[in-house]
Each structure stands twice: as C-alpha cells, then as structure tokens.
Amino acid sequence: MKRDFVYELLERKYREYNRPVFIEGDPISIPHRFSKKQDIEIMGFWTAMLSWGNRKSIMTSANRLVELMDGEPHNFVLNHNEHDLKRFLSFKHRTFNATDALYFIEFFKHFYKDHESLEDAFMVEQGIGKSVNPGEAITRFHETFFSLEDAPHRTRKHIATPLRNSTCKRMNMFLRWMVRKDKQGVDFGLWKKIKPAQLLCPLDIHVDRVARKLGLIKRKQTDWQTVVELTENLKTFDPADPAKYDFALFGIGAIDKADVTM
C-alpha cells in the first residue's frame, strides 16, 4: 500500500477520533472524572490494567472502584484503615479479584507516601527519561510494583512486562494517557520526564489487524518486538508523536470496522 495513502489515512482518522466527544464511551473517561494529579494517575493506571474485554464492562468495574474508594482514590489509599478494605472483598473483574485489588491499594499506599507522582516508578538511570528505551522503563515499573514483601504471585499476570515478551498493550496505553498532550485534551499530558517521542503504540487485536493490512507490521508473531516494529514505522510519519496513531488504527479497526485493503 502506498506510503502517501497510509499517511493521509492515519492523519485523517487520528483527527477524527482524537476528540473529546469520544471520551464518554471510552475507559479514559474514568480518570477524566478527576482533576487531582494523583487521582488521575491511580484511576488511569487501574482502569488501564482492567482494560480487556467489553468497554462497558471495563468502565463499570472501574467506576465501582471509585465508589469503593469514596470518590477520592489518592486520599483513600493513603488514609484507609483495615475495616475500609473489607468492602473490596467482593470486587471482581474477569480474572482480577479481591487479592489483586488489595495489593494495588497496598502498593499505592506504599508508593505515594514517598513520591508525588507515579511517573517516578518508571524512572531508571538510563531509562525512558534519558533514552529511547520504554521497554526498560516498563520493566523497571514492574519490578517496583512487585517489590513489596507480600506481593501475591497471582497478581503478576495483570501487570505486563517486556521480559515476558508481552505486547504490554495496557501499559503502553496508560503511558499514552499520561504523557501525550495536545489541544484536544483526550490524553492528559501530566508527565514531563517521559516524552511523546518515546512512547510505543498500544497494540491490541484491532490495531494489529489494521496495521498489518496497511503494511506497518511484517513480523509474523504478535509480541514486544512487533510493538517496536509498528512504532518505528509510525515514527516515519511523526517521529515526535508516533503513539497518536493509536487513535487512527484503533478507530479504523474497532469503530469503523473497515476493510482498509479495499
């Protein structure tokens, strides 16, 4: 498929779907309920980690978490007592259960006692803040997240890492939400140490299918290296902000359901 056609299609669909009107029906609407930075981070991360399956179900579960935390996630994780945690014992979203929810809360309490922003958990000496190596930063976050002594083994499956050759779709989506910033205001642009040029494009089944039809992916497998390949190709269109094309690829695949080869 000709490069000019692909570029024009991606740019047109990016502009079409990167608009506030689409926030309400998307999981990103959950962190958009908040104005406090830490609340946005907590619910942005938690919503992203629950983002598999039906979008309506994802949003219902994430909104339930907000209710369980009395509408103030940051205040709750820092100041809850043992009795408050009992309300999470019935929480479940697909394979994510109460054990996982309670550990998320424990990690947030531990982390936010010493840090102003969750962005710090991604920072390493030669990590994403200093070089184009988002894989190292996501790996660092995974290590930090499970560094508490009582971290349950079962919860690890909910936090992807490149070390397992995962596409890390939900983590890359969360990073897009926190890092990208433009006039449309869909993504938050809260974080400044990580740059949009360093982001990788989130890769789900819709993005994968469309990207292959457009010739943006040649690799047979769908894994971490596929994400790198896709992003490198997207950088040829916009090296400063390759992840913006997530709007276009997802929109074509999941909303338009278009056959881009026609």
pLDDT digits (tens, 9 = 90+) for 16-47: 999 999 999 999 999 999 999 999 999 999 99
Mean of the pLDDT values across residues 73-83? 98
Mean of the pLDDT values across residues 145-167? 96
Closest to 171 in 3D by CA, of 22, 256, 213, 179: 179
Both tokens of 227, joined, read 């994400």
Element (H, E) at 29: none
- Quick one: pLDDT band at residue 125, thresholds 50, 70, 90? low
Quote the DSSP letter at residue 148: S
Mean of the pLDDT values across residues 101-116? 98
Mean of the pLDDT values across residues 217-232? 97
63 CB neighbour count, 10 Å cutoff: 15
Domain range enclosing 167: 3-256
Beta bridge partner(s), residue 93: 96
Q: Output the pLDDT for position 257.
A: 73
List, in order, residues 6 or more apart from 54 with CB less than 8 Å away. Answer: none
Both tokens of 123, joined, read 């920072």
Q: Output the pLDDT for position 256.
A: 82
Q: Output the pLDDT for position 262.
A: 39
Establish if 262 belongs to a structural domain. no
Establish if 61 belongs to a structural domain. yes
- Quick one: pLDDT band at residue 132, thresholds 50, 70, 90? very low
262 CB neighbour count, 10 Å cutoff: 5
Q: Output the pLDDT for position 260.
A: 62
Establish if 55 belongs to a structural domain. yes
Mean pLDDT score of the chain: 94
Establish if 87 belongs to a structural domain. yes
Q: Is the pLDDT of residue 190 over 80?
A: yes
List, in order, residues 6 or more apart from 190 with CB less than 8 Å away. Answer: 37, 40, 41, 117, 119, 178, 179
Angstrom distance (rounded) from CA 26 to CA 11: 21
Angstrom distance (rounded) from CA 99 to CA 90: 10
Mean of the pLDDT values across residues 202-212? 97
pTM of the prediction? 0.94
Both tokens of 171, joined, read 């983590």
Establish if 248 belongs to a structural domain. yes
Q: Is the pLDDT of residue 70 over 50?
A: yes
- Quick one: pLDDT band at residue 5, thresholds 50, 70, 90? very high
Angstrom distance (rounded) from CA 83 to CA 80: 8
Establish if 197 belongs to a structural domain. yes
Q: Output the pLDDT for position 130.
A: 54
Q: Output the pLDDT for position 53.
A: 85
Q: Output the pLDDT for position 1.
A: 65
95 CB neighbour count, 10 Å cutoff: 10
Establish if 261 belongs to a structural domain. no
First CA to last CA across the chain, in angstroms?
A: 11
Establish if 149 belongs to a structural domain. yes
Structure-model confidence comparison of residues 1 and 99, the more confident one: 99
Number of domain units in the chain: 1
Instruction: Look at phi and psi of residue 257 and say left if phi exceeds 0, alpha if psi is from -120 to 50, else beta.
Output: left
Q: Is the pLDDT of residue 169 over 90?
A: yes
Helix (H, G, I), strand (E, B) or coil at 93: strand
Closest to 28 in 3D by CA, of 12, 11, 51: 51
List, in order, residues 6 or more apart from 15 with CB less than 8 Å away. Answer: none
